[in-house]
């Protein structure tokens, strides 16, 4: 816990160095904290009540000298502004932050042992840091510790937490490690998690997801465009088939009309032929009647001639002598 003593002549941020000027041993000591910070920017981008420092000095009053900073690889403070007086922070000075202690600090163990399991654990406990995260990906066997450990401060003593990820209700996030891809490097990284153990995406993954969604939307739009085009083509084909059907129906109707006309003409020709046949039959009957009449007249003339001959012979006159 921070102890404030008015007798201490505490320096301002302008009087204090920005860092301890100790170079990091490995780039993951910068990359991993920055990755956690970038993920927080995605999660809490609309919040102004938090600050995440990377390789930044924390000046406090619980050590031997307030002018000597402790510099974790990363730390998270809640209840402070993102910017200090609308400017970026050169360092984190507790007496200029209303003595708000970071709620979480992160130390990444490197080749050069930095007292992460010893003096720093004591210093962070004295300061009152609630969660102390130690990531030791390469030298855990040397130090006889796990690769990833989270400690929770209880009654002034850090208690190791079980599980990966570890849920931190005071922060509303979990922290854990798993293999993933970041900056084109496939390895184990530290990530933030929700209460169900689901990992939050990195900016790269978020961008990739947005690109994939945009590509999926583009593909869906293209598929919709193709379906619409196919529908238009099918509609056009249906219209063409309907037009062809109408044309075939009209042609069939025309053929039926032509057949009907031909049938009508055939009937008319048959009627005319029948009329001509009847007329011819009538003429034949008339001719037969005239022939019969001629024959009757001839028979009558012959009968009159025979009667005349008989009369002449009865009078003793031979008709041949006349």
Angle at 318 between CA 316 and CA 322, to 5 degrees: 120
Q: Per-residue pLDDT tens for 183-206? A: 888 999 999 999 999 999 999 999
Contact 127, 62 (CB under 8 A): yes
State residue 15's pLDDT score.
Answer: 60
3-7, 39-43, 166-170, range with the lowest pLDDT = 3-7
Q: Which of 27, 37, 74, 51 is nearest to 203 (CA)?
A: 37
How many residues make up the chain in this entry? 322
State residue 311's pLDDT score.
Answer: 87
Per the prediction, the chain carries an average pLDDT of 89
Average pLDDT over residues 38-49: 95
Report which of residues 53 and 5 the model is more confident about.
Answer: 53
Average pLDDT over residues 9-33: 70
State residue 64's pLDDT score.
Answer: 85
Q: Per-residue pLDDT tens for 63-95? A: 889 999 999 999 999 999 998 888 999 999 999
Q: In what order do the strands lie in the sheet with 157-160?
A: 50-54, 74-78, 104-108, 131-135, 148-154, 157-160
Q: How far is CA 178 from CA 142, 193, 194, 278, in A?
A: 21, 11, 14, 114
Average pLDDT over residues 234-260: 91
Report which of residues 151 and 321 the model is more confident about.
Answer: 151
pTM of the shown model:
0.68
131-135 and 92-93: which strand pairing?
Answer: unpaired
State residue 4's pLDDT score.
Answer: 44
Distance CA(311)–CA(322), nearest Å, equals 13
Instruction: State the pLDDT confidence band at 58, using cuts at 50, 70 and 90.
Output: very high
Q: What would the two tokens of residue 37 be?
A: 């910070």
Helix (H, G, I), strand (E, B) or coil at 99: coil
Residue 20 has pLDDT above 60, yes or no: no
Residue 129 has pLDDT above 60, yes or no: yes
The alpha carbons of the chain give a radius of gyration, in whole angstroms, of 60
Residue 252 has pLDDT above 60, yes or no: yes
């Amino acid at each position: 816990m921070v102890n404030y003593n008015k007798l201490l002549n505490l320096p301002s941020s302008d009087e204090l160095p920005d860092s301890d000027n100790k170079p990091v041993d490995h780039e993951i000591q910068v990359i991993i904290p920055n990755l956690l910070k970038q993920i927080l920017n995605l999660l809490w981008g609309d919040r102004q009540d938090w600050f995440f420092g990377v390789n930044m000095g924390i000046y406090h009053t619980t050590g031997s000298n307030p002018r000597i900073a402790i510099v974790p690889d990363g730390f998270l403070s809640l209840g402070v502004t993102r910017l200090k007086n609308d400017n970026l922070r050169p360092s984190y000075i507790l007496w200029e932050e209303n003595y708000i202690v970071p709620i979480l600090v992160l130390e990444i163990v490197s080749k050069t042992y930095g007292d992460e399991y010893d003096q720093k654990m004591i210093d962070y406990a004295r300061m009152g840091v609630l969660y102390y995260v130690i990531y030791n990906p390469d030298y855990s066997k040397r130090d006889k510790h796990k690769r990833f450990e989270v400690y929770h401060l209880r009654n002034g003593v850090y208690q190791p937490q079980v599980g990966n990820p570890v849920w931190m209700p005071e922060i509303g996030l979990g922290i854990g490690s798993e293999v993933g891809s970041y900056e084109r490097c496939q390895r184990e990284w530290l990530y933030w998690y929700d209460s169900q153990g689901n990992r939050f995406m990195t900016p790269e993954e978020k961008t990739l997801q947005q690109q994939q969604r945009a590509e999926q939307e583009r593909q869906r739009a293209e598929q919709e465009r193709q379906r619409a085009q196919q529908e238009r083509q099918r509609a056009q084909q249906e219209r063409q088939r309907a037009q062809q059907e109408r044309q075939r129906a009209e042609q069939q109707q025309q053929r039926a009309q032509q057949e009907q006309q031909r049938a009508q003409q055939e009937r008319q020709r048959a009627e005319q032929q029948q009329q001509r046949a009847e007329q011819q039959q009538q003429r034949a009957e008339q001719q037969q009647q005239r022939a019969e009449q001629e024959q009757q007249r001839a028979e009558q003339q012959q009968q009159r001639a025979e009667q005349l001959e008989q009369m002449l012979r009865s009078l003793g006159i031979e008709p041949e002598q006349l």
